[in-house]
Structures are given as C-alpha cells and as structure tokens.
Structure 1
Amino acid sequence: MNKTLLRLLIIAFGLMGIWELLVWITGVPKFILPSPLQVLDTLWARLDLIAEHAGTTLLEIVLGMLLGCAAGFLCALLLQMVKPIRPWLLPILVVSQAIPVFALAPILMVWLGYGMTSKVVMASLIIFFPVTAACYDGLRQTPQDWIDLAKTMQASQWQQLRYIRLPAALPSLASGLRVAASVAPIGAIVGEWVGSSSGLGYLMLQANARMQVDLMFACLFVLALMALALYFSVDYYLRKRMPWVAYR
C-alpha cells in the first residue's frame, strides 16, 4: 500500500510538473488554463465553499454506490436462483445498457426532483449493471465438480448458493465493486450538471458561467481525490476480506 501511495504521488507531481511547464512555455492566459499553483491557491482560498459542496457530492456517491451494489447483487442472485426468469430478465438488462444513462438524467430530475434523490438514483443506475454482470458471471462459473459434490452430499439449492457459489463468485464480485467505485462519481456529477443547488458539479457550472476556470480545476482536483480515495478504500477492504485471491 505504501508503494502504491508513493507511485501515485510520483505520478501526480510528474503530471503537475508537465502542466506547469506547458503553461509557462505557451503563456496561455489564466482564464483559459491556470497553472497548478494558481489552482492550489484557489483551492486553499475557497476551501470552505468547496468542502461544503464536496460533502454533498460525496454523500450522493456513497449512497448511490450502496444502492447500486445492493440492487446488482440481488439481481444476480435472482438470475441464478430463478432460472425461468433468465430469458426474460437478461434481454431487459442488455437493452437497458443500450440506452445512454446520461440521457435519463433529465427524466430523473422531472420524476424525482432536483434534490439528492435523483443524483443517488443516477449513480446507482451506472453502477447496477457492472455489479450484476460481474456477480452473475462469478455465480455461473463455479466449478461443476464442486456443485456435483454438493449434490452428492444432498445439499439444497440454498446451501449450494451459500457455501459454494457465493464464495466462488467473490473474486468476480470484487471486480464489479472496483468498477462501481470507479464510475460512481460520474452519475452524481452528471446529475448535478443537469439540475441541482449544491455539489461539486453545481459549483463547477457556476464557476464556468463566471469564467472562474481556476475554481473549476480546484473542484475537479477535489473530485479526483474523492474518487481515488473511494476506489482504494474499496480495494483495501476487498484485499483484507479476501486474502486468498492472488493480486499482482
């Protein structure tokens, strides 16, 4: 974990160095591309405002991830346990992914309002399918020898699911959760862009209208930190809970 943090710091400082050099060489105006130092100055000067809106966005992301992961997990279990519904539910899931989730944002605003609920639902919709697909694939790919042995020991369907299929599906589910942690911020931010009165997406729109590009980059910087923290927190938890899975 320390090596990962060190690697991230090196990458971050390297990118900031390239950014600073690019601004210095091109002489681009501040209102088009501020330097990293100007962005950090704005972040420090407007820290209270940014932190207030960041709290709203973080809550939307976390709630959306919890809802989307829970719904995806339950849907995967339903597909595995209730075979007659597979031919009906699987096409619906595939068709649902053919519709851009971003296009649903205005509709969600109309149905659920401009409050936090629409952003949470937006984030959960983006998360739902990756978690469902990963978990269902894990449940389906349980070694047949294990299932045959369980049937020989007269294990019920529930016992097969609890003691064999679910443990075997955990690595696949973990991959789905990592994907969910990566894309969860997208739904919340898009929802805030469509319509909101708080959050980093809302603050970025307000800054854009006032040509405060340094504030926009400061919000983007905080959002990136939140996304990285969420991803590595999920990754750390999964590594601790599943030490038998080989990581490279």
Structure 2
Amino acid sequence: MSLDSGRGPERVLRAVERSWRPVALLAACFAAWWAITATNLVQAYLVPSPGMTLGVLADKWPYMWQHTWVTTYETILGFVIAVIVGVLAAVIMVYSASVEKTLYPILLFAQVIPKIAIAPLFVVWLGFGLAPKVVVAVLIAFFPVVISMVTGLKSVDPEMLELAATMNASPLKTFVKIRFPTALPHLFSGLKVAVTLAVTGAVVGEFVGANEGLGYVILQANGNLDTPMLFAGLLLMSLIGVVLFTLVEVGERLMLPWHASRRGEAVTTTL
C-alpha cells in the first residue's frame, strides 16, 4: 500500500476534526433561530423562521442568484485591485522611508473615514454602474493588505539580508528569494481580512445607489417590510464572504504548506 493511500483517511479525519466545532455552532444557532420563531417569542414579521427564509431562496432562486452574482463579481474585482495596489504600495513604502512617512498618515486618515459617508460621492462622480461599488470595495479592503504586507516585508531576519548582500545578490533577487516569501504568511492573514471586508464594501456601494446586487435586494426588502427576503439576502451575503475566505485559505495552504501544516499541528497539540 502506498503512502498516499494512507494519507487520504488521515486528511479526512483532520478535516472533520477542524470543522465539527463551527458546524456544531452553526447548527445550534439555526436551532435557536427555529425555536424562537416556533414558540412565537418574536413575531414573524420581525424575525422570519428558517423555513420561510429558505422558502424564499427556493422560490426566487433565479432572481437571488442574479443579484448574488453581481455582488460576488463586484467583490472579487474590488479585492483583486486592492491586492495589486496594496502590495505595490507596501513594497514602495518598505524600500523608501520618505514615501512611507508621507503615505502612511494619508492611508491611516483615509481608513478612519466611514466609507458609507463618502460612498454617495462616488455615485455622483462615477454614476450608478459598477465603478462606485468596486471603488468602495477597494477602499475598504486596501488597508489590511498594505499593513500586513509592510509588516511581512519588515519581518525579514536582518542576518538573511546581510548574507544576501555578502553574496552580491541584487535587490530584485533579494526581494524574490527572501523578502517576499517571508512576507507571504503575513500577507495571507491580511488577505483573509480584506476579502471579507470587500463584500461589505460592495454591499455598501449598492446601498447608496444601485438597481442590482444583494445590497439592492436588502434595501428593497427592508422598504417593503419583507423580512424573509431580507434575511435571505443577508444569508447569501454571508455565504459569499465565507466562500471567498475559504478560497483564500486554500490558496494559503497550497502556497505555504509548511506554514499551514505547522499552524495546524500547533492547534491540534494544544487542544
């Protein structure tokens, strides 16, 4: 029997061990939700039952899927742009102290401004199309990418940099072989935060001005007091965030198997 055949059941067992707690918590939340609605502790027009919410998803699935895809597309596009611009900005800031001193306070200032407050400006400037939603998603997801990348690039062991300089390695080769691989664990931590924030940014942009997307669905449901539709939109929005977060985590495990396995073993041994 080959080693790979023995690793298959092991991986399944590890996956089950990692996932049963969140699954159990999610099941408990749904049970509590069902119990509250079944015992009429809260009126149905305030909190619909899980059956009503899932019934809306089943009855209006083509409609909901269309708007879910719009929000997903806006989120992915905003996230990708935030990653590209954020990584480039971080590299420039690390390699230039003057740029970092100039740019960092501006980034911090831009981050503390509530995006919901400036989102209407993007609608005025860019119209009601795709652009304002993507811009808001980029602005919200950009900061975690920059901060995590800067932290990762600065966490390189100085002795490694001295060794590279001693061996006459070019700045580009030092970056590719030493700085960037060292920064990847920090970067992926920021990416997992950023991808969930990008969902929020896309929906916020849809709240301000849109005729499609889950933000539009939630606003319409809220205006019509259609709480089952509202809850269905919230569930789909959460599902987008969970799926994208999982995809980033899978990418982390594929690119950093040593880091992911070490973290998993550490968590397993402490439980």
TM-score > 0.5, shorter chain as reference: yes
Within the candidate set 111, 131, 134, 2:145 is matched to 131
Normalised TM-score (structure 2): 0.88
1:9 alignment partner in structure 2: 23
1:162 maps to which of 173, 176, 179: 176
Equivalent residue, structure 2, for 1:22: 36
Following the alignment from structure 2 to structure 1, what is the Cα–Cα distance between the partners of residues 150 and 200?
Answer: 24
Q: Are 1:76 and 2:90 an aligned pair?
A: yes
Letter of the 1:112 counterpart:
L
Deviations 1:18-41 (A, max 9, x none): 011112234422211111111111
Q: How does 1:1-248 map to 2 (within 5 A)?
A: 1-245=15-259, 246-247=262-263, 248=267
| Worse-matched range after superposition: 26-35 or 73-82 | 26-35
SS of 1:244's equivalent? helix
Q: Alpha-carbon deviation of 1:49?
A: 0.8
Give the secondary structure class of the aligned counterpart of 2:212. coil
Residue by residue over 1:136-180, the C-alpha shift from the partner in whole angstroms, topping out at 9 and shown as x without a partner, is: 011011001101111111122222212111111111111111111
Counterparts of 1:174 and 1:227 in 2: how far apart (Å)?
15
Q: Which amino acid aligns with 1:238?
A: E
**Structure 2 counterpart SS, 1:18:** helix
When residues 4 and 182 of structure 1 are mapped into structure 2, their CA distance, relative to the original with a 3 A threshold, is farther
SS of residue in 2 equivalent to 1:197: coil
CA deviation map 1:171-218 (0-9, x unaligned): 111111111122111000111001101001101111111111001101
> In structure 2, how many angstroms separate the alpha carbons of the residues matched to 1:170 and 1:18?
40
The one of the two structures with greater contact order (alpha-carbon pairs below 8 A, sep at least 6) is: 1
Instruction: Quote the offset at 1:12 in angstroms.
Output: 2.1
- The CA distance in 2 between the partners of 1:83 and 1:203, in whole Å, is 46
Q: Secondary structure at the match of 2:258?
A: coil
1:112-136 deviation digits (Å, cap 9, x = unpaired): 1111111011101111111000000
Q: Provide structure 2 residue ranges, at least 5 long, that are not aligned to the other structure.
A: 1-14
Distance 1:175 1:198 in 2: 31
Paired with 1:48 and 1:119, the residues of 2 have a C-alpha distance of 22
Equivalent position SS for 1:17: helix
C-alpha displacement of 1:99: 1.6
- Contact 2:111/2:140, CA 8 A, preserved across alignment: no
Please tell me the residue identity of whatever aligns with 1:117.
Answer: A
* Cα deviation code 1:72-112 (max 9, x no counterpart): 10100111123332221122112212222222211111111
Under a length normalisation based on structure 1, what TM-score does the superposition of the two structures give?
0.95
Pairs aligned (count): 248
Work out whether residues 87 and 145 of structure 2, in 8 Å CA contact, stay in contact via their aligned partners in 1: yes
The DSSP-based 3-state class of the residue aligned with 1:127 is helix
- How far, CA to CA, are the matches of 1:93 and 1:29 in structure 2? 45
In structure 1, distance between residues paired with 2:194 and 2:101: 26
